[in-house]
Structure 1
Amino acid sequence: MKKMMQSLAVMLGAMALAGCTTVKPWERAMLADYTMRPDRDPLGNLLAEHMWFSREAASGGRSVGGGGCGCN
């Protein structure tokens, strides 16, 4: 049983390492497009982060001290 678990771990590790590759810019196609970026709208990101910070009581926030109680 132990040998089978070890061989399974080695196989999973080999499969995980085989999946690591560098994607060339011409292979990215639409993923490299500006509209596909999640941070393309700075104001939208600022508002989304503010909303997330206001609702997430356990977070420390970004670049501000305090946090934890959720009262702003």
Structure 2
Amino acid sequence: MHWIAPSEKDSASKSLEKRPWDAADQFRANSGLKAQEHSGPILGLVFLRFAEICFALQRSKLEGGERIIPQR
């Protein structure tokens, strides 16, 4: 069985693939950081996104009137 990649991509998937690379290029060009120093800010942004998602989930539960029981 051989996997064959699709020959054409729709414009939405092209845009989705291009945006992170464009953001990375902007970060490298404008940050003034050395290559080995890029991980700190990037991991910080990943953590903030994770925290934002967790906060939004808990907020929606609270606004919906659900009772949240802390897990031990």
* Greater relative contact order, per chain length (Cα 8 Å cut-off, separation 6+): 1
Same fold (TM over 0.5): no
Q: Give the TM-score taking structure 1 as reference length.
A: 0.33
Q: Which has the higher Rg, Structure 1 or Structure 2?
A: 1
Q: Give the TM-score taking structure 2 as reference length.
A: 0.33
